[in-house]
Amino acid sequence: MLGPLILAASRSDKMRRFVSAAPGTKQVVARFIAGETVDQVVPIVRDLAGKGLELTLDVVGEDITTVEQSYAARDAYLELIERLKELGLGERAEMSVKLSMFGQSLDGGHDLALANVRPVVEAAAAIGTTVTLDAEDHTTLDSMFAIHEELRKDFPQTGCVIQAYLYRTEDDARRLAANGSRVRIVKGAYKEPAEVAIQDKSEIDKAYVRILKILMEGEGYPMIGSHDPRLIAIGQELARRAGRKLDEYEFQMLYGIRSEEHLRLAAEGHRMRVYTAYGTDWYGYFMRRLAEKPANLLFFARSILTK
């Protein structure tokens, strides 16, 4: 019950102001957000890479309201890529981007987002890495998939994300598996209506398995984005049955969640990528993490009350 309420709050400016100003917030946010600046995230990138983990870096932000903010988002990624180049970490860290942060929802936003993301994808390719387009709410996905297809003409390694809770996703998975895409499959983190999305958790898990099977049996590179132990075990089994070697798929988990599992999978020889978010506009990302696990909300409430 709490999850949908928290997701509704993640879109409220009033709640944003309240949560951001609450004493104790920063301490809880720090569990999921690796820092506010590039300088703060660099030691974490080094540390994770040193432990044999791969990374995908996300400069947090979404739902911007001006074109200038979309340029700032592009520039923040370009700065990050420059730092990765200086550090020689280009091959260990890819980037995850939300197109809404690149202007997708503004007037003429599809073209603006494409124009902003292209130089980021180019800069990433120049240091030997790539970009994955995150999946946001269902109204944004046709545009995201069209941008993904456009970018892949020059940069075939560009990845995208599909969400198991959406009815459309099995079709998307078939198309992407056939054209050899890098695809991250996740359960889905937004508040979606019953017309477009499965609401029952166990049905979402079943859909996840069906979709992952399509990806594993296809031509692309599946990226299993989940902390769910059952889905991780099923992912390993589906990869084995599809005859995939360890470097022909990967696991992905979020920074701050089940960190010991990141290390266990890496130690078993799996490619394990940690989605590491940083930046100042953390509100939406943070609230989705609270919605996924109500116990996080209790921890958060306690930390506010004891400050």
Query: Which range touches ligand FAD (CB under 6 A), out of 10-18, 122-130, 142-150, 287-295?
Result: 287-295
Is residue 271 annotated as part of the catalytic site, yes or no? no
Beta carbon nearer to ligand FAD, 51 or 85? 51
Does position 271 interact with ligand FAD (CB under 6 A)? The reply is no
Beta carbon nearer to ligand FAD, 253 or 266? 253
Name the 3-class secondary structure at 170. Answer: helix
What gap in Å lies between CA 258 and CA 232, rounded to an integer? 12
Find where tokens 């432990």 sit. 51
Name the 3-class secondary structure at 210. Answer: helix
Least distance to ligand FAD from the beta carbon of 86, Å?
A: 26
Least distance to ligand FAD from the beta carbon of 290, Å?
A: 7
Does position 296 interact with ligand FAD (CB under 6 A)? The reply is yes
Helix H or strand E encompassing 156? none
Least distance to ligand FAD from the beta carbon of 2, Å?
A: 12
Among the listed residues 252, 262, 265, 286, the single contact to ligand FAD using CB under 6 A = 252
Footprint (CB under 6 A) of ligand FAD, residues 56-115: none
Exactly one of 184, 273, 288, 289 is catalytic; which is it? 184
Beta carbon nearer to ligand FAD, 22 or 257? 257
Least distance to ligand FAD from the beta carbon of 113, Å?
A: 15
Find where tokens 């940083």 sit. 278
Exactly one of 58, 134, 137, 281 is catalytic; which is it? 134
Find where tokens 């981007």 sit. 97
Q: Which tokens in the block code for residue 172?
A: 């998307």
Footprint (CB under 6 A) of ligand FAD, residues 133-192: 134-135, 161, 163, 186-190
Least distance to ligand FAD from the beta carbon of 116, Å?
A: 18
What gap in Å lies between CA 48 and CA 263, rounded to an integer? 10
What gap in Å lies between CA 214 and CA 211, rounded to an integer? 5
Contacts of 138 (CB under 8 A, 6+ apart): 166, 168, 190, 192, 196, 197
What gap in Å lies between CA 78 and CA 245, rounded to an integer? 33
DSSP for 58-120, please give it. EE------SHHHHHHHHHHHHHHHHHHHHHT-TTTEEEEE-GGGGTTTSTTHHHHHHHHHHHH
Footprint (CB under 6 A) of ligand FAD, residues 202-231: 225-228
Beta carbon nearer to ligand FAD, 217 or 228? 228
Is residue 134 annotated as part of the catalytic site, yes or no? yes
Known catalytic residues are 134, 184
Contact residues for ligand FAD, defined by CB under 6 A: 134-135, 161, 163, 186-190, 225-228, 252-254, 257-258, 275, 289, 292-293, 296
